[in-house]
Amino acid sequence: MTFRRNATKLVVLAFAGMAFLTASAQTRKEFRYTVGPKAAVVVVNRFGPITVRPSSNNQVIATATLHSNKVEVDETHNGNRVELRSHLLQNVNPQEGQIDYDVQVPADAMVNVRTATGSLSAQGLQGDVVLVADAGTVDARNLSNASVHIKTLNGPITLANISNGQLDVTSVGGDVNMNGVTGSRVNVNTASGKIVYVGDFGGDGDYTLSNHSGDIDVTLPQNASVDITARSVTGSVQNDFPLSQKSHTSFAPTQGRSFAGTSNSAGSSVQLRSFSGKIRLKKQ
């Protein structure tokens, strides 16, 4: 009985020790830089997430959590440019090489971040944003008056409340989900990813949602003002939204494969193009 109790204690101690060692292997570092208007902030990370949000002043404040001592942060601050770059000191596995970044930047900063396998999140910014994630996810929300460029291989992309800017999204296999995304030019291009758009396409914008084999689902409110064309080369289309017929289209509409029409004052041009996917347009 005593032996069993001692053995249990040993196991508990061993687990506690391992937990302590793991925790102690993590190092937290903070970097602060004072910058001017429209500062350029670059963060490059191989393993781990990057979160970018607005700071309340003219400072860039970055917190980096390093998961081992086999990786470090190389920092550069030249004039109005701040660059943080993960530096692998030796061959490491993804766990050892991971750094979690939480970066606060002035809202008007121009942000350029890339991660290979972590997630990217940008919110509340008003400057130009470039987000590149090889296999990671991207979440961008509450961005305004900005030029936003997003690239992923197969990471899903979520976009919410993005307004008055230009948006360029390219992904090979990632799904793209958009809610309340408007701008003067919005271009989304995926190969096998599904594209979902919920919103009114703003006013006077130019929208192109295109893919190879994924579906495209668009949900519009009754008051949306759009001039819309939808065409799937070998797939199908389905329209449940009341559209006025257009007198002229650039292609000959084919039943079940394409449709075109306008709603209200037809303020925004919307092109939905799929090669073999299904395109659905419905009322909110």
Partner 1 sequence: MTCAEFQKVLPYIIETGGIAEQEEHLRTCSTCSDLVADLKYIAECAKLLVPMVEPSPRVWNEISKSLEQEGLVRKATPRGRLLEPTHASRWGPAAWIGSAAILLLILGGLFIHRAHSNRTEDASLTPAAQPARSGLSFQGMNDSADQQVLEQVQTNTPSLHDTYQTNLQRVNSYIADASKSVEQNPDDADAQQHLRDAYEQKAMLYDMATTRSLP
Residues engaged in binding partner 1 (CB under 8 A): 44-46, 85-88, 94, 114, 116-117, 132, 134-135, 151, 153-154, 170, 172-173, 189, 191-192, 210, 212-213, 231, 233-234, 250-251, 273, 275-276
Contacts of 140 (CB under 8 A, 6+ apart): 121, 122, 123, 129, 131, 148, 150, 157, 158, 159, 160, 162
Nearer to partner 1, 49 or 54 (CB): 49
Nearer to partner 1, 173 or 180 (CB): 173
Point out which residues pair with 176 in neighbouring strands. 157, 195
Q: Which amino acid is at 27?
A: T
Nearer to partner 1, 92 or 160 (CB): 92
Nearer to partner 1, 20 or 251 (CB): 251
Q: How far is the CB of 194 from partner 1 (least distance, A)?
A: 13
Contacts of 44 (CB under 8 A, 6+ apart): 83, 84, 85, 86, 113, 114, 115
Q: How far is the CB of 135 from partner 1 (least distance, A)?
A: 5
Task: In whole angstroms, give the CA distance from residue 221 to residue 70.
Answer: 52
Nearer to partner 1, 223 or 250 (CB): 250
For 146, what's the count of Cα atoms within 13 Å in the CB-facing half-sphere? 28
Task: In whole angstroms, give the CA distance from residue 95 to residue 33.
Answer: 28
Nearer to partner 1, 205 or 214 (CB): 214
240-271 burial, b for 16+ CB within 10 Å, e for fewer? ebebeeeeeeeeebeeebbbbbbbeebbbbbb
Q: How far is the CB of 151 from partner 1 (least distance, A)?
A: 6
Nearer to partner 1, 116 or 159 (CB): 116
Q: How far is the CB of 153 from partner 1 (least distance, A)?
A: 5
Find, among 181, 278, 186, the residue nearest to 239 by Cα: 278
Q: How far is the CB of 237 from partner 1 (least distance, A)?
A: 13
CA distances from 168 to 2, 102, 185, 188, 209 (A): 67, 24, 8, 6, 10
Q: How far is the CB of 64 from partner 1 (least distance, A)?
A: 13
Q: How far is the CB of 258 from partner 1 (least distance, A)?
A: 9
